[in-house]
C-alpha cells in the first residue's frame, strides 16, 4: 500500500539518535520506578526501628502509584498496557473493549477527521491565508532567486532538457493532422481576391509597383545581354549564305539588339514611357477586377481550390512537424543554441524587470494572493477530506510507532514527573494524617 510505504520511508528518515534518546528516557523513567520500589521495601523494613523512614516509605509508595498511573496513561495513548485489552461491563450490552486504551490506534480514523476539520476551520480560512501571504513579497523573493546567474543557467538547462521530452511524447499523427487541418482551414477561409487587391492597393499607393516594374526590366535586360551571342548564332544560321556575303546577318543582329536595348533603356529611364503607362493601367485594372468583378473572383477562388487540393501542398504540410522537431533537436544539442540563449536572456530580463518595478510586483503579488485564496476557499473541504482519507489509509502500527518516536521523549517526562510529584504528595498526605490523627 502506497500510504504504508510513505510512512515506512518517513520512519526510516528519523535519525537513530532520536530512537536512542526515546529509549534512554524510557529506561530512566522505568529505572526511577524500580528505585522507588526498592526504596519502599527497604524503608518499610527500617521504619519499625527508625520511625523517620515512615516519611520515606510514604514518599516511595506514593511515587510508585504516580509512576504506575502515568505509565498507564502514557502507554494507553499508543497501545494496550502490558498487551491486555481491558474490558468494562455495560448493562444489557455485556463486556466491551475499553476504548480509553490504545487511544491512537483505536481512534486513527477519528483523529484523521478531526485533523482535517481542524485545518479546514483554523488554517484554510481566507483571512488567515491572505494575512500570511501579505507578510511576504513573494515576487521579490522569486526575482532575487531568479536573478542569480547559476539559477538562471540551471532553469535554462532544465527547460532545454524538458523541451525535447515534450516534443518526443507528442502524437506525431495527431500533431500533423492538427497542423494540416488548421492550414487548410485557414486557406479556405481566406478571401484571396480581396487580399490580393488590398496588397496591390498598398503597392500602388506607395508607387512600389513601379519599383517592381523596374526590377523586372533590369532582369530582362540582364538576360538579354547574357543571350546576345545565342541571338547572333540563331540569326547567322537562319540567314542564307549569299546574304551573309553582304553582311546582312550582322545588320539584322545589330538592328534587333539596338532596338531591344534602346526600348529597355527607355522603359527603365523614362517615367512616362508608354509601357510604364500600360503597366500602370493593367495593375489598376487588375485591382478593380479583383475587388469588383465576380468573374475574376471566381477565377481566383478556383485557383485557391486547386492549391488546396494539390498533393504537393499536402506533402509539404505533413513534413512541417518533422522539420520543426528536427530544428528543435538540432538547436538544443548545439553548444551555441539559440533557444538556450533566448531563454537565458528572457529569464535575466524578467528578474531584472521584477526587481526594478515595484508596482508590477505589487500587482503580481495581488494576483497570486487572490488566486491562492480563491482556490483554497473553493477546495478547503476537499483538502480536509483528503487529509482524513489519507490518515485512514495509513497503516495503524507504523503510524503509531512514528508518532511515538516523534513525541516519545517528551511524553516520558510525564512518567518522571508523576513519580517525583506523586512522592511529594504522598509525604504531604502522611504529614496531614499525623496532624489530624
Task: Answer with the one of 256, 286, 309 that is the final residue of a domain.
Answer: 309
Say whether both 201 and 297 belong to one domain.
Answer: yes
Distance between CA atoms of 391 and 403, rounded to whole angstroms?
A: 13
∠ Cα 75 112 402 (to 5°) = 45
In a domain, 9, yes or no: no
pLDDT score, position 271: 79
In a domain, 40, yes or no: yes
For the chain, the average pLDDT equals 78
DSSP 97: E
Distance between CA atoms of 89 and 66, rounded to whole angstroms?
A: 26
Which stretches within 148-207 are classed as H helix? 149-169, 172-189, 192-205
pLDDT of 111-139, one tens digit each?
A: 778 877 877 777 777 788 888 888 888 89
Say whether both 191 and 296 belong to one domain.
Answer: yes
User: What is the arithmetic mean of pLDDT over 218-244?
Assistant: 70
Model confidence at 105, pLDDT cuts 50, 70, 90, reads confident
Which run of H or of E encompasses 90? strand 87-90
pLDDT score, position 1: 45
Of the candidates 132, 113, 116, 114, the one whose C-alpha atom is nearest the C-alpha of residue 373 is 132
Distance between CA atoms of 149 and 138, rounded to whole angstroms?
A: 20
Query: Domain count of the chain?
Result: 2
Whether residue 34 has pLDDT greater than 90: yes
Say whether both 92 and 193 belong to one domain.
Answer: no
In a domain, 213, yes or no: yes
* Count of beta carbons in the 10 Å neighbourhood of residue 138: 16
pLDDT score, position 307: 78
Distance between CA atoms of 410 and 163, rounded to whole angstroms?
A: 51
Say whether both 207 and 297 belong to one domain.
Answer: yes
Say whether both 194 and 285 belong to one domain.
Answer: yes
Report percent pLDDT > 70 for the chain.
85
pLDDT score, position 381: 82
DSSP 82: G
pLDDT score, position 374: 84
Whether residue 38 has pLDDT greater than 90: yes
Which range of residues forms the domain containing residue 289?
Answer: 184-309
Which run of H or of E encompasses 87? strand 87-90
User: What is the arithmetic mean of pLDDT over 355-370?
Assistant: 89
In a domain, 320, yes or no: no
In a domain, 345, yes or no: no
In a domain, 416, yes or no: yes
User: What is the arithmetic mean of pLDDT over 172-181?
Assistant: 80
User: What is the arithmetic mean of pLDDT over 76-82?
Assistant: 73
Say whether both 201 and 295 belong to one domain.
Answer: yes
Distance between CA atoms of 156 and 140, rounded to whole angstroms?
A: 20
In a domain, 421, yes or no: yes
pLDDT score, position 91: 53
Task: Answer with the one of 275, 291, 309 that is the final residue of a domain.
Answer: 309
In a domain, 331, yes or no: no
Least confident of 60-64, 87-91, 110-114, 286-290: 87-91
C-alpha cell recorded at residue 267: 522603359
Whether residue 55 has pLDDT greater than 80: yes
Task: Answer with the one of 278, 309, 340 that is the final residue of a domain.
Answer: 309
Axis-axis angle for helices 338-356, 138-147 (nearest 10): 140
Q: With contact defined as beta carbons under 8 Å apart, do 405 and 11 qualify? A: yes
User: What is the arithmetic mean of pLDDT over 241-268?
Assistant: 69
pLDDT of 271-324, one tens digit each?
A: 777 887 888 788 778 777 777 777 777 877 888 788 788 888 778 877 887 888
Amino acid at each position: 500500500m502506497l500510504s504504508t510505504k510513505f510512512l515506512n520511508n518517513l520512519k526510516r528518515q528519523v535519525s537513530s539518535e532520536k530512537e536512542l534518546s526515546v529509549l534512554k528516557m524510557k529506561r530512566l523513567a522505568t529505572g526511577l520506578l524500580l528505585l522507588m520500589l526498592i526504596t519502599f521495601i527497604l524503608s518499610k523494613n527500617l521504619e519499625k526501628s527508625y520511625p523517620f523512614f515512615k516519611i520515606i516509605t510514604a514518599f516511595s509508595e506514593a511515587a510508585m502509584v504516580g509512576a504506575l498511573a502515568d505509565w498507564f496513561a502514557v502507554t494507553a495513548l499508543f497501545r494496550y498496557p502490558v498487551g491486555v485489552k481491558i474490558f468494562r461491563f455495560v448493562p444489557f450490552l455485556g463486556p466491551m473493549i475499553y476504548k480509553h486504551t490504545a487511544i491512537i490506534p483505536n481512534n486513527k480514523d477519528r483523529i484523521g477527521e478531526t485533523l482535517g476539520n481542524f485545518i479546514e476551520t483554523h488554517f484554510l480560512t481566507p483571512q488567515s491565508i491572505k494575512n500570511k501571504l501579505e507578510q511576504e513579497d513573494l515576487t521579490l523573493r522569486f526575482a532575487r532567486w531568479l536573478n542569480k546567474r547559476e539559477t538562471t543557467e540551471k532553469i535554462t538547462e532544465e527547460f532545454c532538457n524538458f523541451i525535447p521530452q515534450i516534443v518526443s511524447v507528442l502524437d506525431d499523427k495527431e500533431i500533423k493532422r492538427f497542423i494540416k487541418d488548421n492550414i487548410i482551414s485557414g486557406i479556405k477561409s481566406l478571401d484571396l481576391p480581396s487580399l490580393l487587391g488590398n496588397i496591390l492597393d498598398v503597392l500602388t499607393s506607395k508607387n512600389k509597383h513601379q519599383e517592381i516594374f523596374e526590377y523586372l526590366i533590369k532582369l530582362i535586360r540582364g538576360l538579354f545581354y547574357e543571350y546576345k551571342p545565342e541571338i547572333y548564332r540563331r540569326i547567322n544560321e537562319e540567314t542564307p549564305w549569299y546574304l551573309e556575303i553582304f553582311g546582312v546577318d550582322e545588320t539584322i543582329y545589330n538592328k534587333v539588339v539596338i532596338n531591344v536595348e534602346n526600348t529597355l533603356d527607355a522603359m527603365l529611364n523614362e517615367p512616362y514611357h508608354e509601357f510604364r503607362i500600360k503597366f500602370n493601367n493593367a495593375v489598376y485594372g487588375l485591382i478593380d477586377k479583383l475587388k469588383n468583378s465576380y468573374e475574376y473572383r471566381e477565377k481566383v477562388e478556383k485557383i485557391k481550390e486547386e492549391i488546396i487540393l494539390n498533393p504537393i501542398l499536402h506533402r509539404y504540410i505533413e513534413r512541417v512537424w518533422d522539420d520543426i522537431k528536427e530544428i528543435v533537436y538540432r538547436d538544443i544539442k548545439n553548444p551555441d543554441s539559440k533557444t538556450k540563449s533566448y531563454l537565458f536572456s528572457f529569464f535575466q530580463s524578467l528578474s531584472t524587470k521584477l526587481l526594478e518595478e515595484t508596482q508590477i510586483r505589487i500587482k503580481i503579488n495581488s494576483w497570486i494572493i487572490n488566486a491562492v485564496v480563491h482556490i483554497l476557499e473553493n477546495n478547503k473541504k476537499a483538502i480536509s477530506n483528503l487529509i482524513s482519507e489519507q490518515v485512514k489509509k495509513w497503516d495503524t502500527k507504523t503510524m503509531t510507532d512514528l508518532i511515538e518516536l516523534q513525541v516519545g521523549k517528551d511524553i516520558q517526562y510525564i512518567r518522571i514527573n508523576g513519580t517525583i510529584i506523586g512522592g511529594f504528595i504522598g509525604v504531604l498526605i502522611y504529614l496531614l494524617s499525623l496532624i489530624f490523627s
